């Protein structure tokens, strides 16, 4: 594997990473809105096809992450990239609003920018364990809040029904 020396790390220059750049451009920036500098790619277009389009977009993003992981992305880096793709998939699956989100968020482009910062500036080094634990704690807290809200809603409905009887 050929490398180029940078200030912080050695940046791999392989066909796989060139493929990552090409696919990221295709998915997030291939087209330009006429009369503007606003760019978009296939990701929001695929999102117009419920389920199938979202799965196709997610699959491409997953392949990009796997390729970047094979070329030296740290655990923290991979975890952050997975969070970007998960957010894109989660919000992108919401009808209409998800399509608008897909035009703006560009998870693949964010991931490639983070990868460059990882290689060239030494950012995002280390393990992703703290991030994963934070996400797990966040999911647990949200789950508890949702259960509490459901309990309160059921208690309110029960009182409402008792008032009618």
Average pLDDT, whole number, for the chain? Answer: 84
Q: Given this model, what pLDDT does residue 165 score? A: 77
- Whether residue 29 contacts residue 22, with contact meaning beta carbons closer than 8 Å, is answered with no
Sequence spans of domains, the chain: 2-127, 128-165
> Taking residues 18-25, what's their average pLDDT?
89
Q: Please give the Cα distance from 71 to 69 (Å, whole number).
A: 5
- Assign 151 a pLDDT band (cuts: 50, 70, 90): very high
Nearest to 60 by CA among 87, 37, 34, 42: 42
The answer to whether 14 touches 71, Cβ cutoff 8 Å, is yes
- Per-residue pLDDT, 4: 47
What predicted TM-score, i.e. pTM, was given to this entire model? Answer: 0.70
Percent of the chain residues past pLDDT 70, beyond the cut: 91
Q: pLDDT of 82-131, one tens digit each?
A: 999 999 988 988 888 888 898 889 999 999 998 888 887 777 777 777 77
Q: Are the CB atoms for 71 and 16 separated by under 8 Å?
A: yes
- pLDDT band per the 50, 70, 90 thresholds, residue 50: confident
């Amino acid at each position: 594997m050929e490398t180029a020396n940078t200030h912080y790390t050695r940046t791999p220059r392989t066909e796989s990473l060139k493929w990552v750049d090409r696919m990221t451009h295709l998915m997030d920036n291939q087209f330009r809105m006429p009369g503007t500098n606003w760019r978009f790619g296939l990701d929001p277009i695929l999102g117009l096809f419920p389920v199938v389009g979202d799965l196709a977009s997610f699959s491409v993003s997953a392949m990009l992450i796997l390729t970047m992981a094979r070329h030296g992305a740290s655990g923290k880096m991979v975890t952050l990239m997975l969070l970007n793709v998960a957010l894109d998939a989660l919000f992108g699956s919401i009808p209409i609003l998800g399509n608008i989100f897909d035009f703006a968020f560009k998870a693949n482009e964010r991931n490639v920018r983070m990868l460059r910062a990882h290689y060239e500036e030494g950012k995002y080094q280390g393990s992703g364990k703290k991030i994963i634990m934070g996400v797990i704690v966040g999911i647990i807290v949200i789950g508890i809040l949702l259960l509490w809200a459901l309990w309160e809603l059921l208690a309110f409905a029960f009182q409402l029904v008792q008032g009618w009887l």
